[in-house]
């Protein structure tokens, strides 16, 4: 199970690749891709369907034996984007000595210093000419070798570096791509890399969405290999746990839903984010295909339950003062239910009790997280989604260290626990 997770993490350096890999796994498990531009048609018990939006979000549906109006649906949602750096248009900047660096902008909220002096690569999607202006083609790109690096300034020029340095997003975080060795590379080095990787010509490229990614493979570490080190554990580990539970449970009375959103790290206010009406529209279409009335959708929502799966903060042995004194989850302690008095999480006593009972039935320990009252935290998917679809639900996740670092740390045991809990949730 952990080997599969590590392979998924390595193959999913950005949202587009993660969505593509999830879609491929669903297809192999017998899920049928549907086109949202076309009528859904007849929906029968046991049907397995999925749809994508923007090539970066995935929504899967395993239809239950009972209609959604009669039995509701059980949903796990997570997000496939992570903090990184987006390559700007006209990105190449030629410097002295023929060094080429790339102009980038920050995506989300990364710990920027963790991106220095490590091998990086690029991944995303490249848009090329299609049959007409409204139908361009999308090609996915993942350069599977070290390609760039953001280099630190030597300590000799910055003696205060170990006392803390304020980093400029525009000046300090620009990666080196290479050194010009041929006049043909001048101003075209990035395009040449893209064309070489995809086997296309520069004249066919219309645009791209490309991002930086850590080129070092995910791995386990620790005296007992009990810990996981990887970029993007937040939130790809939850995506993959939900996927494994989805494809490994049989048809039940209740419809199962897996929703993998994009753009959580930037607020979810996109057509592929948790604030979009797209998921509600798809659920309504399925409910109406089953029952013939719009009322069926509203009945389904009232009978539904959502698990919003986004990782939590593990207690850090060097910074115990940052954590709540009585509610600080630890690595290896099991899935974490998240609470917030300002309603930044969807959890309440009722929904937390439901999920805790699911964990108990699965033989899995369960933890609670509340922010230190002097340390405000962020929000996540649950409350954003519930503001558009009034679902009963819980916010949870696995405890990790160094959230939003280029390399985060999680627990092997916690991933196994969460897959068991999710499987019990879907099979219940």
d(CA 136, CA 107): 25
Neighbours of 256 (CB within 10 A): 23
Mean pLDDT of 73-77: 97
Q: What is the pLDDT of residues 261-270, one digit of tens each?
A: 999 999 999 9
Contacts of 206 (CB under 8 A, 6+ apart): 127, 128, 129, 136
d(CA 140, CA 99): 27
The span from the first CA to the last CA of the chain, in angstroms, equals 22
Rounded-to-integer distance, Cα 226 and Cα 140, Å: 33
pLDDT in tens, 140-155: 999 999 999 999 999 9
Handedness of CA 211, 221, 245, 241 (dihedral sign): negative
Question: Average pLDDT over the chain, rounded to whole?
Answer: 95
Helix (H, G, I), strand (E, B) or coil at 119: coil
Dig out the tokens for 388 from the structure. Answer: 């558009």
Partners of residue 369 on adjacent β-strands = 338
Report the phi/psi class of residue 341: left, alpha or beta, with left for phi > 0 and alpha for psi in -120 to 50.
alpha
Which domains occur in the chain, in start order?
Answer: 1-82+231-427 (3.40.630.10), 84-214 (2.30.250.10)
Q: What is the pTM of this model?
A: 0.95
Q: What is the mean pLDDT of residues 106-127?
A: 97
Query: What is the spatial distance between Cα 182 and Cα 34, in angstroms, rounded to a whole number?
Result: 47
With beta carbons less than 8 A apart as the criterion, state whether 137 and 220 touch: no
Of 286, 227, 279, which is closest to residue 258 (Cα–Cα)?
279
Count the Cβ atoms, other than its own, within 10 Å of residue 191: 17
Lowest mean pLDDT among 182-186, 212-216, 302-306: 182-186
Rounded Cα distance, 187 and 312, in Å: 43
Average pLDDT over every residue of 344-361: 95
């Amino acid at each position: 199970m952990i080997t599969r997770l590590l392979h998924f993490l390595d193959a999913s350096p950005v949202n587009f690749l993660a969505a593509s890999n999830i879609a491929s796994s669903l297809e192999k498990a017998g899920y049928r891709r549907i086109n949202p531009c076309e009528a859904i048609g007849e929906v029968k018990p046991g049907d397995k369907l999925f749809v994508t939006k923007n090539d970066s979000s995935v929504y899967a549906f395993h239809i239950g034996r009972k209609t959604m109006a009669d039995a509701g649906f059980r949903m796990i949602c997570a997000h496939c984007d992570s903090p990184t750096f987006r390559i700007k248009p006209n990105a190449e900047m030629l410097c002295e000595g023929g060094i080429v660096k790339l102009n980038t902008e920050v995506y989300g909220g990364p710990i920027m210093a963790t991106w220095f002096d490590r091998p990086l690569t690029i991944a995303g999607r490249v848009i090329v000419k299609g049959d007409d202006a409204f139908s361009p083609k999308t090609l996915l790109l993942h350069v599977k070798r070290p390609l760039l690096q953001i280099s630190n300034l030597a300590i000799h020029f910055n003696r205060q570096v170990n006392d803390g340095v304020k980093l400029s997003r525009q000046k300090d975080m620009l990666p080196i791509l290479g050194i010009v060795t041929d006049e043909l590379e001048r101003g075209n080095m990035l395009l040449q890399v893209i064309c070489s990787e995809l086997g296309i010509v520069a004249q066919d490229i219309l645009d791209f969405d490309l991002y930086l990614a850590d080129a070092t493979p995910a791995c386990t570490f620790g005296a007992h290999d009990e810990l996981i080190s990887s970029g993007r554990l937040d939130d790809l580990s939850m995506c993959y746990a939900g996927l494994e539970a989805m494809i490994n449970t049989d048809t039940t009375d209740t419809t199962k839903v897996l929703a993998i959103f994009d753009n959580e790290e930037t607020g979810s206010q996109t057509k592929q984010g948790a604030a979009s009406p797209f998921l509600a529209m798809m659920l309504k279409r399925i409910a109406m295909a089953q029952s013939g009335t719009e009322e069926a959708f509203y009945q389904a929502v009232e009978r539904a339950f959502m698990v919003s799966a986004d990782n939590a903060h593990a207690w850090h042995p060097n910074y115990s003062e940052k954590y709540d004194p009585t509610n600080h989850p630890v690595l290896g302690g099991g899935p974490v239910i998240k609470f917030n008095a300002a309603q930044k999480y969807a959890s309440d006593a009722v929904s937390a009790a439901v999920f805790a009972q699911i964990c108990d039935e699965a033989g899995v320990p369960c933890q609670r997280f509340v922010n230190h009252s002097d340390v405000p935290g962020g929000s996540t998917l649950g409350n954003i989604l519930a503001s558009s679809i009034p679902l009963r639900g819980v916010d949870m996740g696995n405890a990790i260290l160094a959230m939003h670092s280029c390399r985060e740390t999680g627990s092997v045991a916690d991933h196994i626990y969460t897959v068991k809990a999710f499987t019990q949730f879907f099979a219940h």
